[in-house]
Amino acid sequence: LALQNFDMTYSVQFGDLWPSIRVSLLSEQKYSALVNNFAAWDHVSDELEQLRARDFVKEAISHGELEPHGDQTPTPASGAYSPNLRCFTFARGDVSRFPPARLGSLGVMDYYLMDA
């Protein structure tokens, strides 16, 4: 009953976007894993890659997606990305979950789970 009411109300409000909004509201939360630079980050990154997670920051930089487009003036945030920033997520449509964050070999958390 609640979903029917949502469909009637929000399909009018959001139109063609409503089906994808509805799916995202009904789906499980998706997380990313932000690697702790004070951990053994190379080992942690390898472990996350073995789970088929991808470093989306590195991918965006390699595809040029983080560069300003056209006549945009670069802002301080654009193009100023630390090479130490490593954040992993699973591919779109992959509903795999990261293992809970834990203390690593150096006594600090290996990574932090954040909303993706």
pLDDT tens-digit profile of 43-77?
999 999 999 999 988 888 877 755 555 565 555 44
Question: Which amino acid is located at 11 in the chain?
Answer: S
Let me know: does 39 contact 110? Beta carbons within 8 Å: yes
Say whether pTM exceeds 0.75.
no
What pLDDT does 93 receive? 81
User: What does pLDDT average to over the chain?
Assistant: 85
Counts of helices then strands in the chain (DSSP H, E): 4, 4
Q: Could you tell me the strand order of the sheet in which 31-35 lies? A: 54-55, 87-89, 31-35, 111-115
* pLDDT of res. 76: 47
Cβ proximity of 67 and 23 under 8 Å: no
